[in-house]
Amino acid sequence: MTTQWNDAPGGFHPASAPDFLPRRELARLQLGRLQSVVARAYARVPLFRGRMEERGLSPADVRSLEDLARLPFTVKTDLRDTYPFGLFASPMEEVVRLHASSGTTGKPIVVAYTEADLRVWTSVMVRTFAACGLHRGDVIQNAYGYGLFTGGLGAHYGGEALGATVIPISGGNTERQLMVLQDFRVTAICCTPSYMLHLVERAREAGISFERLQVGVFGAEPWSEEMRRHIEATAGIRAHDIYGLSEIIGPGVGIECQRREGLHLFEDHFFPEIIDPETGDVLPDGAEGELVLTTLSKEAMPMIRYRTRDITALLPEPCACGRTIRRIRRIGRRSDDMLIVRGVNVFPSQIEAALLAVEGTLPHYQLVLTREHGLDEMEVQVEVTPEVFSDTIGAMEGLRRRLEAAIDHVVGIRAKVTLVAPRTLARSEGKAKRVSDRRNIQGGVS
């Protein structure tokens, strides 16, 4: 009889053992790996060595985990400035795979993996799925994009190594996705939360139910607790938040366990710090700031103190699941997602939370920023339920005022809310585009 390990009552998957290391043993492992990766980057990456020498540092100065705070940061522009291979610490004959960003905002970011890196990536994805309660026998529909994007292949190999059946359907082609969901007896799905919303909506229209689907592993874009509740209520599944970024390894840096009270980071491979984004000073556990990650075992492309721009906090309390690896609070915003409207910092996730807290709205919205007479204006277009849209003008007006008040309460500015019919706004088959900022365009022609 095959043992079906999972995180549900009855046992943990053996691959999850590193999640439960005693903290002292974990710290000893982390320090050894940190010293090794710093020495490797110093010897093989000129940019890193130069910055260390500017500070009068060498690998021998890393004697404790606290010494990490003395090392220089790495930022996204470093990857672009050294495009394509300038941060590689392995010769090409040892690099067995490359991934890259789309490059829509400039030079793409290229990341590399040795065979050992891929083994690490697969192992953390196995731990990821096990933490979600998946196991051998599950059927995983992997709707993350394959190709240069890391999401598809990262989830793919992790699911196979877990012993699950993986369907490599990639993103898009919604009708085929729904057919496969129903006919292939899918029990788990991986995709962006905004695409899951789209699938649920189309399934309802087609009269398709998700009878066997139990778990969703959603990531690659910020999403709110309100969005989670909507997905779970409409799809009848348990939704887990997954965290990762290509610069570090791809998906599999962190995951919510069955408790879903923050995301566990696989600290034996990715060492986290929280810093003040303005000063760069390291903040204590519990304080909100920017997440900084150091890869402890990456060979081809070590990242030392990589500034993720993701705003979160390390949760100091132990998790009831028993894991000893620390958790971060769910990431609802990124520092580079921040909009400044009339001098006020606004994050799309704040708007989402305010909208979904008011009954009658759907989780499909868009922010439109314009500038009139030198003053920023923000319009929030949001779809409402068919019942609300067919209601009286007075009822619609009442809802609009409640939404404007909710936004004012959350972000502190008045926005114009426009209620639109269901399926008015464009749907996403990948990452959702929530903001249309037309201020610079208008500024250029006025």
Q: In this predicted model, what pLDDT tens digit does every residue of 175-192 receive, in sequence order?
A: 999 999 999 999 999 999
- In this model, does residue 9 exceed pLDDT 60? no
Residue type for position 399: L
Give residues with Cβ within 8 angstroms of 43, minimum separation 6.
Answer: 49
Closest CA to 267 of 217, 332, 315: 315
Banded model confidence at residue 431, pLDDT cuts 50, 70, 90: confident
- In this model, does residue 7 exceed pLDDT 70? no
Number of H helices, E strands in the chain: 12, 21
- In this model, does residue 119 exceed pLDDT 70? yes
Peptide bond between residue 272 and the one before it cis (omega within 30 degrees of 0): no
Burial 191-219 (b: 16+ CB within 10 A, else e): bbbbbbbbbbbbbeeeeeebeebbbbbbb
E strand spans, 210-282: 215-218, 238-245, 250-256, 263-265, 270-275
**pLDDT higher for 434 or 344?**
434
Distance CA 258, CA 214 (A): 13
What tens digit of pLDDT does each residue of 272-325 get?
999 999 999 999 999 999 999 999 999 999 999 999 999 999 998 999 999 999
Banded model confidence at residue 199, pLDDT cuts 50, 70, 90: very high
Residues 198, 428: contact at Cβ < 8 Å?
yes
The residue behind tokens 């909506």 is 201
Average pLDDT rounded to a whole number, residues 199-216: 92
Banded model confidence at residue 4, pLDDT cuts 50, 70, 90: low
Average pLDDT rounded to a whole number, residues 189-215: 92
- In this model, does residue 2 exceed pLDDT 70? no
Banded model confidence at residue 385, pLDDT cuts 50, 70, 90: confident
Confidence (pLDDT) at 224: 87
Distance CA 192, CA 69 (A): 34
